[in-house]
Amino acid sequence: MRKKKIGTAVISICICALFLVVAIMSVVLLGFREKLSEFETEKENVLLQCQILQENMKTLQEQNGNLETQIAQILENQKQQEQNVHLDTSIENIAPGQILAYEDVAENLDSYFSSRQIQEGDEIYSRIYGKSYQENGNVALSDLRYLTLLHYNFNHEIQVGEMIVNAAVEQDVLGIFKELFANEYEIQSIFLIDNYWTGDADSTDSASIEANNTSCFNYRPVTGGYHLSNHAYGCAIDINPQQNPYIWMTDNGWGWSHDNATPYVDRSSGDPHVITDGDICCSTFEKYGFQWGGYWSNPIDYQHFEKALY
**Residue 173 φ then ψ, to 5°:** -65, -40
**Residue 187 φ then ψ, to 5°:** -130, 130
pLDDT tens digits, 31-49: 666 666 766 777 677 777 7
| Cβ atoms < 10 Å from Cβ of 104 | 15
d(CA 121, CA 13) in angstroms, rounded, equals 130
d(CA 123, CA 285) in angstroms, rounded, equals 29
7-21, 35-49, 139-153, 203-217: least confident range: 7-21
CA distances from 130 to 5, 141, 208, 218 (A): 152, 12, 17, 11
User: What is the model's pLDDT at position 7?
Assistant: 62
How is residue 117 annotated by DSSP?
E
User: What is the model's pLDDT at position 135?
Assistant: 93
Question: Is it the case that residue 59 has pLDDT exceeding 90?
Answer: no
What's the chain's length in residues? Answer: 310
User: What is the model's pLDDT at position 269?
Assistant: 87
d(CA 6, CA 22) in angstroms, rounded, equals 24
pLDDT tens digits, 113-151: 999 999 999 999 999 999 999 999 999 999 999 999 999
Our measurement of the distance from residue 235's CA atom to the centroid of its chain's CA atoms, rounded to an integer in Å, reads 31
Mean pLDDT of 60-71: 75
Our measurement of the distance from residue 226's CA atom to the centroid of its chain's CA atoms, rounded to an integer in Å, reads 45
